[in-house]
Structure 1
Amino acid sequence: MDITLKQMQIFRAVVIAGSITKASRRVGLSQPSISQQLAKLEERLGTQLINRNRTGTVSLTPSGEYWFKFSDEVLRKFDQAIDEHEKRYVDNRVFLRIGLSPTLRGRFLSAAARIASDEQGFAKFEVSYATTSSELVEQLRLHQLNCVIVNDEALAEDRSSFATALLFRDPMVLLVPADLPGGMLEKALTKGVKASQLDASLTRYVEISANVPMRPVSDAWYRSNLPYATPAFSAMTYVAATDIVAEGLATTHVPLSLLPSLPNSVRARLRVYTLSGMDRSIVLAMPKHLMTLPGYANIFKRLTDFCRHEYAQNVPADSVLELPTPERARLEKELVGGRVAAGVQQNFQ
């Protein structure tokens, strides 16, 4: 029995996904079918390639390490050959399969679709969403996507395989209901304040998915700054978390890049505050071999230019407020009081 490309594709998918269960969703095959193909491959090679753990995760044996690297290289070259064949002997059609987080819906998505459709040879634009950048990079490695917008950290192990461009720095911000009484947030940030003294929305927050890298940082911020707030709500996406805050029920953390895509009806019900030390780099990534094809190279450049010069600048500076602190509030109060006193004194002279 010969080793087939399908067996190598399945083997690589299992390794990248980390389990047969996750790989099943990625390649569209049942778990028994995947296990059967892996068994045939191991039988043909006369060696065990993966260790199947009780938790369902897999790890590579020494021979598995060798065959994973070999399979990944063969499949990558095969995809490159297909692309080169279409370039030379078929036509210059562009099939853009882009992966995004739900944060970049709306204005960004419509701009990406327009940029792709403007390209000569445009054939199809497909968009896929995932809740984390790691999921998108996994699909990029499996060649299910050929373009992704992700957190830079998710590319750490694969950077050499892709062409990348830094699009913008994406700081996390604090969302609170727009109708929160004035001075209430400053009061909430004061040490020793009691939860009973605060608006109910400040005693609850929306925790983001545990799969999101910023989750531990977000939880730590709440423990340090709003220790009485409890994670009364949980959301898989930042968009869902935003909707809960807009209803006046809680607070949450979201990336600033979400704001340009929010409907005005939602944006009007939010107040946005800056946070220090909580940001991430957002990058565009494509397989390097696609950069030799003019259509994909042009899309790469135009998406980069759009993000750097239009999308990232689409949040009005005056719509994001500086996070108040009790100390700043006290100084401002003293400054105003001093001016009033000076004015009163001047009036009596």
Structure 2
Amino acid sequence: MFTLRQLAVFQALVHAGSMTRAAKQLGVSQPALSQQLAKLEKSLGVKLFERAGNELRLTEAGRVLARKAEEILTAGDELEAAMRAFAEGRRARVAVGALASAARMLLPRALELARREIPELAVDVHELAPGEMIDQLYARTLHIAVLAESSVARDHLTFARRDLCADGYVLAVPPDLDLDAVRHPERDLPPERLAVLRRVIEFNFGTPHRQRVLEWYRRHVGRVETVACVRQYETALALVEAGHGTALVPLGAAANRERPLFDVRLYAVPEMERRLVALFPSQYGRLRPWSVLLDALQEAGRTLHLPPARLPPPFLRHPCWPEARTATTQPVAYGLEKSME
């Protein structure tokens, strides 16, 4: 007879597509993983994967099991959660994965709201990249992941989702780079100031994000030079504050609620925004304490207040620039103002 652990290993292999990646997800060695798979195949009497080098491809029997395994594992999770709640009373601990900026924006308020209903609630916060969060959801080491909608493919996920909030992107520039009246950077900025504007701090968020950011820069400022590539918005903003270049970041990454975190100028970028969502196994939307924290995250997102950004500089809305927007439409989560001085 197979075990739930063996089914969880099977699901991790289906998602990962290789022994190497699945072993990393589950935190076990490849030999131990192979042994669990062999036991499952032996107990079922069928082969579940065909191996092609390091890749795994489902057999017909594997595809049948894949359709049913998630239902069985979900039922097992619900039963375990119910028994844990019965044994522990109202004590509860929820594992949350989040981008660092999203955790700072939403978790303080969400935990305050959730603990009004469950005073003993505690959260284990894991600041992770989106791909790492997805892997840990599949490995069942995270209960909830808070990440940007654009970083996940809807058709590849089996998780439930709740929309949390949206915050507009801003162009972060050093405090002494004044773009308020700049209509054409090459004509209106001194060479040394134009060089700073064109020095880009990029992010290790994957090729699509990188291409989108570089395309935006090329469209609006022309030729650019990458001076740094980082994983955290906060690192990028510290480099901008020190005068090393500029960066496109969500407004929420540059602020702690209504307080700016860095001495930088933040110019609104009307055509870009980040939408934050919560992903979770569907049963957690029905069971306490996870459902309570999910409700609290949504409320924290709904009532989120961020500091004002400057109006887009003229060259971002000048009609000679392709696809430029005017400042007549207010972006999501912006409180626009002409000056922050």
Deviation, structure 1 residue 51:
3.9
- Checking the alignment, whether the CA contact within 8 Å between 1:172 and 1:278 is kept in structure 2 is yes
- Checking the alignment, whether the CA contact within 8 Å between 1:131 and 1:237 is kept in structure 2 is no
Relative distance call for 1:15 and 1:240 in structure 2 (3 A) is: farther
| Structure 2 residue aligned with 1:125 | 123
Query: Which residue identity does 2:35 align to in structure 1?
Result: Q
| Structure 2 residue aligned with 1:333 | none
Deviation, structure 1 residue 218:
0.9
Relative distance call for 1:240 and 1:183 in structure 2 (3 A) is: same
- Checking the alignment, whether the CA contact within 8 Å between 2:267 and 2:310 is kept in structure 1 is yes
Query: Which residue identity does 1:85 align to in structure 2?
Result: M
Query: Which residue identity does 1:321 align to in structure 2?
Result: L
Q: Provide the alpha-carbon RMSD of the alignment.
A: 3.3
Relative distance call for 1:48 and 1:189 in structure 2 (3 A) is: farther
Among residues 95, 98, 120, which one is paired with 1:97 in the alignment? 95
> What does the per-residue CA deviation read over 1:287-328, in whole Å, with 9 as the maximum and x for residues that have no partner?
44334445443332222222211x2x2222xx3331321885
Among residues 274, 288, 310, which one is paired with 1:280 in the alignment? 274
SS of 2:265's equivalent?
strand
- Report sequence identity in percent: 25
Relative distance call for 1:78 and 1:105 in structure 2 (3 A) is: closer
Among residues 134, 138, 151, which one is paired with 1:137 in the alignment? 134
Deviation, structure 1 residue 188:
2.5
Relative distance call for 1:292 and 1:37 in structure 2 (3 A) is: closer
Give the structure with the higher percent helix: 1
Query: Which residue identity does 1:4 align to in structure 2?
Result: T
> What does the per-residue CA deviation read over 1:22-75, in whole Å, with 9 as the maximum and x for residues that have no partner?
222221101222123223333444444234444x44332322222222222211
Among residues 286, 290, 314, which one is paired with 2:306 in the alignment? 314
Relative distance call for 1:262 and 1:211 in structure 2 (3 A) is: farther
Deviation, structure 1 residue 248:
0.7
Among residues 63, 68, 75, which one is paired with 1:77 in the alignment? 75
| Structure 2 residue aligned with 1:110 | 108
TM-score of the superposition, structure 1-length normalised? 0.78
- Checking the alignment, whether the CA contact within 8 Å between 1:51 and 1:58 is kept in structure 2 is yes
Deviation, structure 1 residue 127:
0.5
List runs of 5+ in structure 2 lacking aligned partners: 321-341
Q: Distance in 2 between matches of 1:166 and 1:49?
A: 36
Relative distance call for 1:189 and 1:43 in structure 2 (3 A) is: farther
- Checking the alignment, whether the CA contact within 8 Å between 1:104 and 1:257 is kept in structure 2 is yes
Relative distance call for 1:17 and 1:172 in structure 2 (3 A) is: farther
Question: Which range is displaced more, 243-252 or 201-210?
Answer: 201-210
Q: Distance in 2 between matches of 1:118 and 1:278?
A: 35
Query: Which residue identity does 1:30 align to in structure 2?
Result: S
List runs of 5+ in structure 1 lacking aligned partners: 331-349
The answer to whether the aligner puts 1:247 opposite 2:246 as a matched pair is: no
| Structure 1 residue aligned with 2:177 | 180
Relative distance call for 1:63 and 1:227 in structure 2 (3 A) is: farther
| Structure 1 residue aligned with 2:223 | 228
Larger radius of gyration: 1
> What does the per-residue CA deviation read over 1:228-259, in whole Å, with 9 as the maximum and x for residues that have no partner?
21222111222222222121111111112212
Deviation, structure 1 residue 227:
3.0
Question: Which range is displaced more, 35-44 or 299-308?
Answer: 35-44
Q: Distance in 1 between matches of 2:191 and 2:79?
A: 66
Among residues 145, 167, 170, which one is paired with 1:148 in the alignment? 145
Length, aligned pairs only:
319
Deviation, structure 1 residue 181:
4.9
**Within 5 Å, which residues of 2 pair with 1:210-225?**
210-211=205-206, 213-225=208-220
- Checking the alignment, whether the CA contact within 8 Å between 1:172 and 1:279 is kept in structure 2 is yes
